[in-house]
Structure 1
């Protein structure tokens, strides 16, 4: 039996997170299969989603999701997470004898396509041109290079079934695409929305936070009945996206508020007062952490649009908001306006009220 290493005694690392310190996941977040022993024995859960009867969402106990479409002339698989692995093929076999002929990469990250090699050399792999460029730069035998790429928009058609592929710019990562079945009204957009949850830490480790925010609006521009988000063992609805969009805009608003309060000359001096110059970095850490703490407290205690707090509405709110707050505050400084700049001959303010 695995025994948890005692790393939590270190004075420099993260404290241990305990269930009693956090809010439980809201009941509306918890899908029934999470309590079904057969889900863990079989290794996957499969649901038909959207309209038309041929688009499937498949998830794993590891919390990774993928999708596939049965076209009548072969199966199109969307992503191949290692945590789902060959259970993708088991899920396909459970509904059809058609072979997998096409694989679409949502983006280049290994946690979502790191089992792609299982489909063999004959499958056609479709991705954005940036995804191919990144996989050429950082080769991995488990992630074969795409055989077909596109720049802005493309249509993949197999057996009369169409998927519309679109790239709207960097968000979670450059090359992360939208995959839309217009007939079924199913949209796949990975690592932006984890339905019913606040996503994993640091905006799901996204590289472009302004793009991450924009992606929520772009998702809502589609007419979809089901969203495959890549995580959390749940497919999403339009309401799921609208709810989490509200959460992220609260985080953004309070991050801006905290930056304005703590970035004037007087406040900045206060973070280093009494410290020797060689310890000024300690003040810098306290400064950004104070902004993140301010943002976290304001976000988690706010009464939201439906009268509940965010811990009552979204899973993971008390665990991950502090990480999101830190990232959103820091990238506000780098990706958004500084509201002005330092004038000649004075030490601030950095932000103009």
Structure 2
């Protein structure tokens, strides 16, 4: 490989924030690392996103214990990616919830994704020895389901493809608060390597239609108030479109992946080069955008070997 992935050189510990975004609702964030959410009900707690390892999950648990001693009974994963799900065992929850589509993606590509992400982002997998294996849900749903934490209603829904084909959002209607997973990011690059560019904008429209007063995004800071929410939705839309359109134009004229890389950099670098994980995401984003523009609807499975081959091709 000509040089390492940007994420392989990212070894610094990130500062954790634990921000209240509604009554009994919290966003666990860490300077562009994967976020988690906390929903406190009358007698129990739901976690949104389980982190990459039990070691990281325990940092979430420590924050939860700083505000409540209620048991953690539910863990919801918005999608299948290893950095979101492999820490689930630390919570010892009664229910581990994914959409049917997300579970199918664990079956189809979960191990390959784990191997690939482990190579790309070793810092996030410190303590990986404690991961018992792939995370499997105890409960799945198609389209939507409702969970009651006592009287608190929590709606888990699929509102469209974006970051993956199996994305879910978690809506807490009493607080007009949404946990969006990686459908929405704030001052962090979107990882689009398994995404659906043509659908993403419509899914953002669906998020906005709920008129959320706060959002815990997939990465970046907690979004409190309509202005912050609208700004993050708009910047996410701009990031996705600015990545896809140049790649689509290159593909239309029969250009190469390297041509697409150059075109996307020209469009995105001036606006997004300072975003968290921008350099890490860029080669995977360009590859997926180029594929989708050439009619490949289902994202090709990333493997450790494919990662290296793609990166070497872009360096050449």
| TM-score (normalizing by structure 2) | 0.71
Greater CA radius of gyration, 1 or 2?
A: 1
Aligned partner of 2:235 in structure 1 is 243
The Cα of 1:323 is off from its aligned counterpart by: 5.1
Question: Would the aligned equivalents of 1:225 and 1:238 in 2 still touch at CA under 8 Å?
Answer: no
Question: Would the aligned equivalents of 1:293 and 1:322 in 2 still touch at CA under 8 Å?
Answer: no
Q: Distance in 1 between matches of 2:105 and 2:250?
A: 36
Q: Distance in 2 between matches of 1:124 and 1:312?
A: 39
Aligned partner of 2:117 in structure 1 is none
Aligned partner of 2:295 in structure 1 is 334
Q: Secondary structure at the match of 2:75?
A: strand
Change (3 A) 1:132 1:184: same
Q: Distance in 2 between matches of 1:118 and 1:320?
A: 28
The Cα of 1:255 is off from its aligned counterpart by: 2.8
Please state which structure has a larger fraction of its residues in strand.
Answer: 2
**CA deviations over 1:152-199 (Å, ceiling 9, x no partner):** 121111111111111135433332211111122221122233211222
Q: Distance in 1 between matches of 2:5 and 2:170?
A: 38
Change (3 A) 1:130 1:15: closer
Question: What is the aligned length?
Answer: 266
Change (3 A) 1:142 1:89: farther
Question: Would the aligned equivalents of 1:196 and 1:314 in 2 still touch at CA under 8 Å?
Answer: yes
Q: Secondary structure at the match of 1:67?
A: strand
Q: Secondary structure at the match of 2:295?
A: helix
Unaligned regions of 5+ residues in structure 1, if any? Answer: 1-11, 18-36, 269-286, 301-308, 337-353
Aligned partner of 1:130 in structure 2 is 101
**CA deviations over 1:14-70 (Å, ceiling 9, x no partner):** 3786xxxxxxxxxxxxxxxxxxx9x75xxx4211003xx111111246812101111
Q: Distance in 2 between matches of 1:125 and 1:166?
A: 15
The Cα of 1:142 is off from its aligned counterpart by: 4.8
Question: Would the aligned equivalents of 1:117 and 1:143 in 2 still touch at CA under 8 Å?
Answer: no
Change (3 A) 1:220 1:290: same
**CA deviations over 1:219-257 (Å, ceiling 9, x no partner):** 22221122222224x224221111221232233333333
1:104 lines up with 2:85 in the alignment? no
- In structure 2, which of residues 35, 49, 64 is the aligned counterpart of residue 65 of structure 1? 35
Change (3 A) 1:101 1:192: same
By relative contact order (CA 8 Å, sep 6+), the higher-ranking structure is 2
1:113 lines up with 2:85 in the alignment? yes
Moved more, 241-250 or 158-167: 241-250
Unaligned regions of 5+ residues in structure 2, if any? Answer: 7-12, 112-130, 224-228, 298-316
